[in-house]
């Protein structure tokens, strides 16, 4: 796989790579001649092949994970019978919920049909296709909606090949062309921005349209070729974000979204052409399974930086299982979670049907254990310290750098989360409903310094456990790098926060140290400028707090954590209640409070200040 140097320019607000960072280049042999020679003539050819399907059917008799997951899929599929057919119902500016529901339904119904050829499943698939293909459009103004619907309809056609009525097939293919593919080739845009963006939209839009292109390739080979070729050219702009270590800059739940589409795209290209054209070889992509695994904290919460959800669901991670199938590493195959009774799993993920293909391909081999001290560099660098698999204290720490203008990013550089004994003591406020904010007229997506986004507690630095100077918001374009990392029995990591404070400091460095199996030290070295008036060290928690001499005592779920003020023991910690939150539009988190250590800049000695605090529990 080749690489080329690129810089980033903006095309309609989306970063598009052109010529000064290193960008991977995928193999791209796509021509009409290539398509006609190498596109599989056998069906199914999207994710499943006749050989994969045969293997799935055989293993359903013996493999406990496959058997259990299939029972859950069948239970989900039967539940769809009780639901009305989908309508073109917008939620705010999005049809996305409807598109995702269609993809979910086809994944459930379609896999049961593939395995059993159940006529009732086929009839319902027919009805679902006719319903969505009768929509006036699939909402191209918010193209994720089009992409997810295109994938759903393409899978429905492929997985039922030859069994649907001819009129249904014709209507579906017409819809894929007119409502899916054609809107991605606007006459007034030389570059269709979604194909070349640097975020999850790239992965989702290109993946959905590749599926549509393959579905209509026999009828429209030229349209299919130019769509797939554009995708292979454009996808590296998003894939490069995994480099060098696998951090997904948009956070763990968006890893599930963007990587989920990249995984299903790889599966489709391999099933249709026998090659993924180099996607899985891109630096950091395969390593991102470690990132995903380490973002799952002992408490059941994610390390929920960026616009990330709070907690994971009960079932096994089907996207992570793809990495298990490719590597044989059992750490990525959540067997116990996959064996949860089907009735307890509830509604499955919308790609869980497709995932049966790679679940069947998993063969356990020896894999490397997860590191207990890990760093990931890139556009949103993070560090994670854990106590390991059998840690009785369930130690967990996650800290980060980066910049606010990262896609789905926040003013959270220098922030951290901390757990002991399975309790999230130091929290990230996480995400909140986009539509609930947007319907009020709130401008959630602006990224300028004065954008409305930064007034939200979940988005600004006042809602994160970091350091604030002069009560000012962070500089949005200021990048905070990871400048030092040490692993071993006493790991530590250092971030340079200088850039987020502008003229208010000359230098600001934050160091995290895992001091013992039950303690964390946070050390801030700040060189103030003349503009600096005060410095506020802050920590967010939902624990009950008692202020004591030299710090505070936190209590939660019958456990205790001590916050010790090691550098300014004479200065009391202040407690600021954030329940209710500062603004009506802010996320309400029960019991949320901010602990503050406020130090005037004049306390600096020769312009230098050291803030040193620790969090610890009794061993």
| pLDDT one-digit tens code per residue, 213-271 | 999 999 999 999 999 999 999 999 999 999 999 999 999 999 999 999 999 999 999 99
3-state secondary structure of 340: coil
Q: How far is CA 582 from CA 45, 305, 588, in A?
A: 53, 21, 10
Q: Are 355 and 66 in contact (CB under 8 A)?
A: no
| Mean pLDDT of the region 41-54 | 98
- Domains assigned to the chain: 2-359 (1.50.10.100), 373-616 (2.70.98.70)
CA distance 332 to 301: 17
Supply the DSSP string of 205-264, one letter for each residue: HHHHHHHHHHHTTTT-HHHHHHHHHHHHHHTHHHHGGGTTT---TT-HHHHHHHHHHHHH
Taking alpha carbons only, the member of 171, 283, 269 closest to residue 216 is 171
Angle between the 252-273 and 318-327 helix axes, to the nearest 10 degrees? 50
Other Cβ atoms within 10 Å of 326 Cβ, number: 17
| pLDDT one-digit tens code per residue, 148-187 | 999 999 999 999 999 999 999 999 999 999 999 999 998 8
Q: Is the pLDDT of residue 9 over 70?
A: no
| Main-chain phi, psi angles of 225, to 5 degrees | -65, -50
Cβ-based neighbours of 405, under 8 Å, separated by 6 or more: 447, 476, 477
The whole-number pLDDT of residue 4 equals 47
Q: Are 261 and 152 in contact (CB under 8 A)?
A: no
Which of the four pLDDT bands, split at 50, 70 and 90, describes residue 78? Answer: very high
| pLDDT one-digit tens code per residue, 450-489 | 999 999 999 999 999 999 999 999 999 999 999 999 999 9
The whole-number pLDDT of residue 368 equals 86
**Predicted TM-score (pTM) of this structure:** 0.95
CA distance 168 to 526: 67
| pLDDT one-digit tens code per residue, 414-448 | 999 999 999 999 999 999 999 999 999 999 999 99
Tokens read off for 376: 């990931």
Share of the chain above pLDDT 90, in %: 94
Q: What's the distance, CA 35 to chain centroid?
A: 32
The whole-number pLDDT of residue 47 equals 98
| Mean pLDDT of the region 85-92 | 97
Other Cβ atoms within 10 Å of 313 Cβ, number: 15
Other Cβ atoms within 10 Å of 236 Cβ, number: 24
Which of the four pLDDT bands, split at 50, 70 and 90, describes residue 367? Answer: confident
Share of the chain above pLDDT 70, in %: 96
| Mean pLDDT of the region 378-402 | 97
Which of the four pLDDT bands, split at 50, 70 and 90, describes residue 11? Answer: very low
The whole-number pLDDT of residue 509 equals 98
CB half-sphere exposure, 571, CA atoms < 13 A:
18
CB half-sphere exposure, 169, CA atoms < 13 A:
15
Which of the four pLDDT bands, split at 50, 70 and 90, describes residue 14? Answer: very low
CA distance 418 to 428: 10
Torsion of CA 138, 142, 148, 152, to 10 degrees: 0
The whole-number pLDDT of residue 190 equals 72
Q: Is the pLDDT of residue 10 over 60?
A: no
Taking alpha carbons only, the member of 512, 515, 514, 479 closest to residue 497 is 479
| pLDDT one-digit tens code per residue, 280-318 | 999 999 999 999 999 999 999 999 999 999 999 889 999
Tokens read off for 504: 């208010």
- Tell me 122's DSSP state: H
Supply the DSSP string of 375-396, one letter for each residue: EE-SSS-EEEEE--TT-TT--E
Which of the four pLDDT bands, split at 50, 70 and 90, describes residue 188? Answer: confident
Bridge-partner residues for 575, per DSSP? 595
| Main-chain phi, psi angles of 612, to 5 degrees | -135, 120
| Mean pLDDT of the region 70-87 | 97
Least confident piece of the model among 2-6, 22-26, 586-590, 605-609: 2-6
Long-range contacts of 490-496 (CB under 8 A, 24+ apart): 490/514, 490/515, 491/372, 491/373, 491/385, 493/375, 493/383, 493/399, 495/381, 495/399, 495/400, 495/401, 495/413, 495/414, 496/401
Which of the four pLDDT bands, split at 50, 70 and 90, describes residue 15? Answer: very low
Query: Edge-to-edge strand order for the sheet containing 608-616?
Result: 482-486, 492-496, 505-516, 519-528, 608-616, 559-565, 551-556, 544-548
Bridge-partner residues for 510, per DSSP? 495, 524
Tokens read off for 450: 């004065």
| pLDDT one-digit tens code per residue, 514-547 | 999 999 999 999 999 999 999 999 999 999 999 9
| Main-chain phi, psi angles of 172, to 5 degrees | -65, -45
Q: Is the pLDDT of residue 52 over 70?
A: yes
| pLDDT one-digit tens code per residue, 118-144 | 999 999 999 999 999 999 999 999 999
| Mean pLDDT of the region 378-382 | 97
CB half-sphere exposure, 112, CA atoms < 13 A:
24
Q: Is the pLDDT of residue 8 over 90?
A: no
For tokens 């975020």, what's the residue? 199
């Amino acid at each position: 796989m080749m690489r080329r140097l690129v810089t980033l320019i903006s095309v309609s607000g989306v970063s598009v790579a052109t010529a000064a960072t290193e960008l991977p280049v995928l193999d791209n042999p796509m021509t009409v001649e290539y398509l006609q020679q190498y596109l599989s003539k056998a069906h199914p050819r999207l994710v499943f092949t006749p050989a994969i399907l045969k293997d799935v059917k055989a293993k359903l008799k013996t493999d406990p994970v496959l058997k259990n997951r299939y029972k859950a899929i069948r239970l989900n599929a039967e539940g769809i019978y009780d639901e009305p057919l989908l309508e073109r119902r917008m939620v705010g500016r999005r049809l996305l919920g409807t598109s995702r529901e269609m993809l979910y339904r086809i994944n459930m119904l379609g896999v049961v049909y593939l395995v059993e050829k159940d006529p009732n499943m086929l009839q319902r698939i027919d009805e679902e296709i006719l319903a969505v293909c009768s929509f006036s459009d699939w909402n191209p103004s918010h193209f994720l909606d089009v992409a997810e619907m295109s994938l759903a309809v393409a899978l429905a056609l492929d997985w039922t090949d030859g069994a649907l009525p001819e009129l249904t097939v014709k209507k579906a293919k017409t819809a894929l062309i007119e409502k899916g593919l054609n809107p991605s080739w606007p006459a007034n845009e030389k570059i269709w921005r979604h194909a070349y963006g640097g975020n999850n939209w790239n992965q989702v839009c290109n993946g959905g349209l590749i599926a549509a292109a393959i579905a209509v390739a026999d009828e429209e080979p030229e349209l299919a070729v130019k769509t797939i070729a554009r995708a292979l050219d454009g996808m590296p702009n998003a894939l490069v974000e995994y480099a060098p270590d696998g951090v997904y800059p948009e956070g763990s739940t968006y890893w599930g979204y963007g990587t989920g589409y990249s995984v299903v795209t790889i599966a489709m290209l391999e099933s249709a052409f026998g090659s993924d054209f180099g996607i899985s070889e891109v630096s950091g992509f395969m390593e991102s399974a470690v990132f995903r695994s380490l973002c799952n904290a002992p408490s059941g919460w994610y390390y929920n930086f960026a616009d990330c959800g709070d907690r994971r669901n009960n079932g096994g991670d089907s996207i992570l299982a793809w990495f298990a199938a490719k590597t044989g590493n059992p750490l990525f195959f959540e067997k116990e979670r996959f064996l949860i009774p089907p009735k307890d799993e509830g509604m499955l993920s919308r790609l869980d049907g497709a995932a049966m293909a790679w679940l069947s391909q998993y063969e356990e081999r020896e894999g490397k254990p997860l590191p207990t001290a890990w760093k990931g560099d890139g556009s949103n660098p993070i560090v994670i310290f854990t106590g390991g698999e059998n840690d009785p204290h369930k130690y967990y720490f996650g800290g980060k750098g980066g910049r606010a203008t990262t896609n789905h990013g926040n003013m959270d550089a220098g922030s951290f989360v901390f757990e002991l004994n399975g309790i999230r003591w130091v929290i990230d406020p996480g995400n909140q409903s986009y539509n609930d904010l947007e319907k009020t007229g709130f401008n959630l997506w602006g990224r300028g310094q004065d954008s409305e986004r930064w007034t939200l507690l979940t988005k600004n630095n006042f809602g994160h456990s970091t350091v604030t100077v002069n009560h000012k918001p962070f500089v949005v374009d200021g990048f905070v790098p990871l400048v030092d990392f040490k692993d071993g029995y006493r790991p530590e990591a250092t971030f340079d926060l200088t850039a987020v404070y502008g003229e208010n400091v000359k230098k600001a460095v934050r160091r995290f140290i895992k001091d013992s199996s039950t303690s964390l030290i946070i050390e801030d070295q700040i060189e103030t400028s003349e503009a600096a008036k005060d410095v506020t060290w802050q920590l967010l928690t939902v624990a009950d707090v008692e202020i004591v001499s030299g710090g505070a005592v936190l209590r939660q779920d019958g456990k205790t954590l001590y916050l010790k003020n090691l550098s300014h023991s004479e200065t009391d910690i202040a407690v600021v209640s954030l329940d209710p939150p500062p603004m009506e539009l802010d996320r309400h988190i029960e019991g949320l409070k901010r602990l503050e250590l406020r130090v005037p800049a004049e306390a600096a000695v020769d312009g230098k200040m050291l803030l040193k605090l620790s969090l610890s529990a009794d061993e």
